[in-house]
Amino acid sequence: MTTSLLLKPVQHIQGTILLPGSKSISNRVLLIASLSNGITTITNVLDSDDIHHMLQALKLLGIHYQLYKNNTVCVIHGVGGLFQINNHALTLFLGNAGTAIRPLLAILSLSNHRITLTGDNRMHERPIGDLVNSLRQGGAIIEYKIKNNYPPILIHGGYVGGKITVKGNISSQFLTSLLIAAPLAKKDTYISVEGILVSQPYIDITLNIINNFGVTITHKKYQDFYIPGNQTYKSIENVQIEGDASSASYFLAAAAIKGGTVCIKGIDANSTQGDIEFAYVLEKMGAKISWGDNYIKCTKNQLTGIDVDLNHIPDAAMTIAIVALFAKGITTIRNIYNWRLKESDRITAMATELRKVGAIVQEGIDFISIQPPIKFHSAIIETYNDHRIAMCFSLICLSEVSVEILNPQCVAKTFPNFFRELNSISQYPIESL
């Protein structure tokens, strides 16, 4: 049965949001802490589906950890090397978490066993062939269980490193996965990136975390990477996860469209996440942004459409497509082909739903162009089981019409409390209370 959530028009936006931890950082730190040589205490861990899938997999792989404070604190007992797997024929279900299945594939290719990685239906449509090809170049034996290039996959191990190439144009998560595995490989690894590398700031997140766990990777302009093998990640006593910059985008946008002012706590200009750049894009569109120590503030102002390449911030870029509805003139978002390969075909999904609320939308293979509606249409929004479509379209309640969001629970992938948080900064007209 499909459930739905009706969001009534909001009159004003004002307040403070305390951000949950970053998905990208949480899953990387949980994995690397598990491979490290001691105990790591991680605070502000995100409590969401993507992280539960990683934690469940780590448990099945023999990692001991304790969770506290509603799963936001995790004490991990690292194994100081590869997983010590007792059950040699495991199946790990990873939902639709790209940040779980892809790095785990690379790490599990380093030891010998029979481990199947699988996920939900959409995961079986998300390509992983480029990563498998790179691992095979380094000796890995990996089989596709249903369809070539897609999960589920069966890993036999055999990966030793050496000279490999990886394609950069589909997902940066492939390179991230190779980088996380490389220090534990028997041989030194040389990775050469073929073609353009998409979503580059996520590589900085990876390099930064790897570096914090005591391993240095050298590279030339994100094209050629060198990683000595036979290394050990060194556990860190305490790691504090930054707030999630992609999740911040919805509240920054809400303020820009309908504020008042919203103060977002948990990130600032020093964030290691590329999606922090969203605030600068919003500023370019006209919003008033100010930065402080561990917070960003955004205040409403007249918004104007822009023409931008947002390849580097694909997740937060979706929120710009919604801000475009409230801006003067046309907004074009370019170089976003890989939107099509994520939780849904996000270019087609966004175009379809944006048209429902009255926008005139042009969709290309790698761009979307949005002309705002003269008058908003109240609509029932299909969310395609994509958390970001649900969170983006909830902002339609900042127009003069209500919006109904189908399957609102899908936000649990990265932000289970999203609607509660949005409500906490929303003020309603007296008559709708």
Ligand X SMILES: C=C(OP(=O)(O)O)C(=O)O
Per-residue tokens: 7: 């969001």
Site for ligand X contains 20 (CB under 6 A): no
Amino acid identity at 210: I
- Cα gap 262→228, rounded to integer Å: 46
Q: Are 282 and 298 in contact (CB under 8 A)?
A: yes
Amino acid identity at 259: G
- Cα gap 33→37, rounded to integer Å: 8
- Cα gap 49→416, rounded to integer Å: 8
Nearer to ligand S3P, 13 or 276 (CB): 276
Q: Which partner from the list ligand S3P, ligand X, none does 34 bind, CB cut-off 5 to 8 Å by kind?
A: none
* Sole window of 93-101, 178-186, 272-280, 421-429 interacting with ligand X (rule: CB under 6 A): 93-101
- Cα gap 96→82, rounded to integer Å: 24
- Beta strands at 379-381 and 403-406: parallel, antiparallel or unpaired: parallel
Residue ranges for the known binding site for 3-phosphoshikimate are: 23-24, 28, 171-173, 199, 315, 338, 342
Residue keyed to tokens 């790490």: 107
DSSP 351-374: HHHHHHTT-EEEE-SSEEEEE--S
Nearer to ligand X, 53 or 258 (CB): 53
Q: For ligand S3P, which residue of 315, 382, 386, 421 counts as binding (CB under 6 A)?
A: 315
- We find the least distance from the C-beta atom of residue 187 to ligand X, in angstroms, to be 29
The strand pairing partners of 279, in sequence order, are none
- We find the least distance from the C-beta atom of residue 121 to ligand X, in angstroms, to be 14
b/e code 396-419 from CB counts within 10 Å (16+ = b) = bbbbebbbebbbbebbbbbbbebb
Site for ligand X contains 344 (CB under 6 A): no
Residue keyed to tokens 């059950």: 87
Q: How many degrees, rounded to 5, is the angle at CA 381 between CA 378 and CA 386? A: 155
* Sole window of 4-12, 78-86, 147-155, 166-174 interacting with ligand S3P (rule: CB under 6 A): 166-174
Nearer to ligand S3P, 174 or 376 (CB): 174
Site for ligand X contains 28 (CB under 6 A): no
- Residue 50 falls in the annotated catalytic set: no
Residue ranges for the known binding site for phosphoenolpyruvate are: 23, 98, 126, 173, 346, 388, 413
Q: Look up residue 270 and give its DSSP letter.
A: T
Closest among 15, 21, 428 to 255, alpha carbons compared: 15
17-76 residues near ligand S3P, rule: CB under 6 A: 24
Residue ranges for the known binding site are: 23-24, 28, 98, 126, 171-173, 199, 315, 338, 342, 346, 388, 413
- Cα gap 370→136, rounded to integer Å: 42
Nearer to ligand X, 96 or 385 (CB): 96
Cβ-Cβ contacts under 8 Å for 104 (sequence gap 6 or more)? 31, 54, 57, 92, 94, 117
Nearer to ligand S3P, 297 or 346 (CB): 346
Point out the catalytic residue in the list 315, 345, 366, 386.
315
* Sole window of 110-118, 155-163, 195-203, 236-244 interacting with ligand S3P (rule: CB under 6 A): 195-203
Site for ligand X contains 414 (CB under 6 A): yes
Q: For ligand S3P, which residue of 150, 202, 213, 278 counts as binding (CB under 6 A)?
A: 202
- Cα gap 415→369, rounded to integer Å: 27
Site for ligand X contains 98 (CB under 6 A): yes
Backbone angles phi, psi at 85, to 5 degrees: -95, 120
Q: For ligand X, which residue of 34, 48, 99, 231 counts as binding (CB under 6 A)?
A: 99
Q: Which partner from the list ligand S3P, ligand X, none does 266 bind, CB cut-off 5 to 8 Å by kind?
A: none
Q: Which partner from the list ligand S3P, ligand X, none does 176 bind, CB cut-off 5 to 8 Å by kind?
A: ligand S3P
- We find the least distance from the C-beta atom of residue 315 to ligand X, in angstroms, to be 4
Q: For ligand X, which residue of 47, 49, 242, 315 counts as binding (CB under 6 A)?
A: 315
- Cα gap 195→238, rounded to integer Å: 38
- Cα gap 344→126, rounded to integer Å: 9
Nearer to ligand S3P, 98 or 161 (CB): 98
* Sole window of 172-180, 209-217, 226-234, 363-371 interacting with ligand S3P (rule: CB under 6 A): 172-180
In the complex, the residues that contact ligand S3P under the rule CB under 6 A are 24, 98-99, 171-173, 176, 198-199, 202, 314-315, 338
Positions annotated as catalytic residues are: 315
Can you give the binding site for ligand X, defined by CB under 6 A?
96-99, 315, 342-343, 388, 414
